[in-house]
Chains A and B, each alone.
Chain A
Amino acid sequence: MPGIKNFSCCLLVPGAAVFSIFLDKKVTHSTEKINLGKALGFGFLTGVTATIFITLFEMLVTYFTKTNDFIQNLPQSELIMREWNLGPLVDESLKLIKSMSKEIQKSGFSFLYLIIIFFSNFLTNSIFGMIGGALGMRLVNRKAPGEIN
């Protein structure tokens, strides 16, 4: 997964949504054009599925290794924030994150971290999934050139 993420970056979920539209077309043997509602629905479902799997995978890896990218990058983020001379805002901002980090390093699990990554994944993946769905719809329905005016 990290390898795939490195290669395709933000195109992973939209790509999966496009693929789901193509698969649906193949399975149903439908000759009808796919409408926007269906395409967005497919994209959303792809995003939700990706969110569940990514969050589960992330939590499992974090549980066994008791660390993750977020914890490893925290000292660097703190250093950058201190260089910005934000004053007491830095400590206030980092208080929550540091408690989360301590919990993960101790037990491998933080409920707050789970909530944050779940909602963050859900928001971005569902939006990117729907964008992929719209792209898939255009690719499947393509015939005449469109005109943006």
Chain B
Amino acid sequence: MDSSNKNIRLKFLFRFLIFILTLIWFTGLVSPCINNNYLHSIYPYLKLGYSTVCHQNVHKSFACNDGMFLVCARCTGIYFGVLITSLIVLIPIIKIKIKTRYLIVFSFPMLADVIFYSLGLYEYSKIIAAITGVLFGSTVFLYILDAIENSLYKKLIKGNNN
């Protein structure tokens, strides 16, 4: 019983750590919206930092307080999806079954949006990009969390048995 409680506590701590890290990452990318002089004063450095993960096209990014978000609308959606899901999985009563099929289904809208606007079927929409990003981000987060926790859980059980 004690080892089971310990595992649950470790699982919660692990998820809480992921939530905090995601929150820090997300705070950085929406820093133009946060009225903090010190955060604003490092804007060019943050922009350079986030440029490694996104093209930062101004026409494809949300704006706030006259400043552009540090990643595009799609990436903002993906990270927002990860942030929200990392918060939801902290609630112990919520159980979500995750299969590869769901990953494919929820990735499809994003892929379709990229292909359709690239082909010129419609104009680029930040809202569509963000929504499809949220769907993809939240599903892929659950998928990765499941993979990591399963591996760690097996190790923990092995450790408890020895």
Is B truly associated with A?
yes
User: Are A54 and B147 closer than 8 Å at their CB atoms?
Assistant: no
Place the interface of chain B in its size category: 35 or more
A-B Cβ contacts below 8 A, count: 127
B23 lies within 8 A of chain A by Cβ: no
Per DSSP, chain A at the interface is helix
- Bound CA–CA A141/B143 (angstroms): 12
- Bound CA–CA A7/B92 (angstroms): 37
User: Are B98 and A146 closer than 8 Å at their CB atoms?
Assistant: yes
User: Are B75 and A137 closer than 8 Å at their CB atoms?
Assistant: no
Taking a contact as CB atoms closer than 8 A, the residue among A6, A9, A80, A120 that contacts B48 in the complex is A120
Question: Which residues of B, 140-157, contact A by the 8 Å Cβ criterion?
Answer: 140, 142-152
A117 lies within 8 A of chain B by Cβ: yes
Residues of B within 8 A of A (CB): 32, 37-38, 40-45, 47-49, 51-57, 65-68, 71-72, 74-75, 78, 89, 92, 94-100, 114, 118, 140, 142-152
Residues of A within 8 A of B (CB): 2, 5-7, 9-10, 35-36, 39, 54, 69-70, 73-74, 77-78, 80-81, 83-84, 86, 89-90, 92-94, 97, 116-117, 120-121, 124-125, 128, 131, 134-135, 137-139, 141-142, 145-149
Further 9 A-B residue pairs, CB within 8 A, beyond A81-B41, A116-B48: A9-B74, A70-B51, A77-B43, A80-B68, A90-B41, A93-B42, A135-B144, A146-B143, A147-B97
